[in-house]
Amino acid sequence: MNRYIRPGRLAVHIALILYTIIAIGPILLIVLNAFKTRRAIFADPLGFPDARTFTTIGFDQVFAKSDFGLYFINSLTITVVSLGLIVLIGAMAAWALTEYRFRGNTLISLYLAIGIMVPIRLGSVSILRMMVELNLVNTLTALILVYVAQGLPLAVLILSEFIQQIPKDLRDAARCDGVSEYRIFGSIILPLIRPAIATVAVFTMVPIWNDLWFPLILSPGDGKQTVTLGVQQFIGQYVTDWNAVLASLTLAIAPILVLYLLFSRYLVRGLTAGAVK
């Protein structure tokens, strides 16, 4: 069969392949070098580990010298709890703002829109002051609160957009069926915006997991460090333990990858097909 590939398509694919290489390259480099000896990392950074250069010393270092398991659980707790709160509160707020007309509706929407435009880091000093006053420094709660605030505006925006696309008749049908407003939200709206929730989850999860700034200023000690902060202890002013840094980074990629794969299953549209003609 003579398959003709249009030049436009070809160009798109070339661009996408290039982008993939650029995006995956550094990650691949980290994973590769995490399994190499220090000498091999510097001698041949792009080479695959072979029998001579293969080592897991970095991982041993990470587990021996630091409380990596704890950091890991801290990061995971913060990410999962923040994500859960953002999705739940965001979806509820989006539902309320799109479904009900009430006084202050526009004002709240505007307020949330401003949250997208103004970076939360501008408020670092006052946030720190507030946390000190609330006695929340060096707690995971402090970080969770900040991340929920950081993630909510975008979540509400995206979810409102999706909720608006759900046919109004569905809600009316449920109301005729005697379903309470909470159950309409839980049994009809939430299942139908699953793709949107996955999108929001992916968008908010990565920055939270990767964040260094807020862990550094809000909970730098007391065994409340996150993975990103924990890695820093291997980066010294004079000596950097590259084996350990790369090993801990490799370990840090794993959970976010799993979460991503979990959510990307739902990053498929067309879930409402068949609801209405």
Nearer to another protein, 38 or 194 (CB): 194
Q: Indicate the residue among 139 and 272 with the shorter CB distance to another protein.
A: 272
CA 2 to chain centre: 44
Q: How far are the Cα atoms of 75, 127, 208, 218 from residue 132, in angstroms, in the given order?
A: 21, 9, 21, 9
> Residue 171 Cβ, how far from another protein at the closest point, in Å?
9
Q: Which residue, 47 or 191, has its beta carbon nearer to another protein? A: 191
Task: Measure the CA–CA gap between 267 and 13, rounded to whole angstroms.
Answer: 21
Can you give the binding site for another protein, defined by CB under 8 A?
A: 167, 169-170, 172-180, 183, 187-188, 191-192, 271-277
Measured distance CA(244)–CA(66) in Å, rounded: 10
Scanning the chain, the segments in alpha helix (DSSP H) are 7-34, 38-43, 57-65, 68-99, 105-117, 124-133, 140-165, 168-176, 181-183, 190-192, 194-210, 213-218, 227-231, 242-264
Q: How far is the CB of 95 from another protein (least distance, A)?
A: 16
Residue 151 vs 195, nearer CB to another protein: 195
Nearest one of 163, 167, 160 to 277, comparing CA atoms: 167
Choose between 84 and 167: whose C-beta lies nearer to another protein. Answer: 167
Q: How far is the CB of 270 from another protein (least distance, A)?
A: 9
Using CB atoms within 10 A of its CB, is residue 253 exposed (0-12), middle (13-18) or buried (19+)? middle
Task: Output the smallest distance, CB 271 to another protein, in A.
Answer: 7
- Between 92 and 170, whose beta carbon lies closer to another protein? 170
Selection from 165, 189, 198 nearest residue 267 by Cα: 198
Tell me whether residue 100 is exposed, middle or buried, using C-beta atoms within 10 angstroms of its C-beta: 0 to 12, 13 to 18, 19 or more.
exposed
Of residues 116, 205, 118, 202, the one with CA closest to residue 156: 116
Residue 266 CB, nearest distance to another protein (Å)?
12
Torsion sign over Cα 173, 175, 179, 185: positive
> Rounded to the nearest whole angstrom, what is the least distance from the CB of residue 176 to another protein in the complex?
5
For another protein, which is the closer residue by CB, 192 or 196? 192
Task: In whole angstroms, give the CA distance from residue 257 to residue 252.
Answer: 9
CB of 257 to another protein, least distance (A): 28
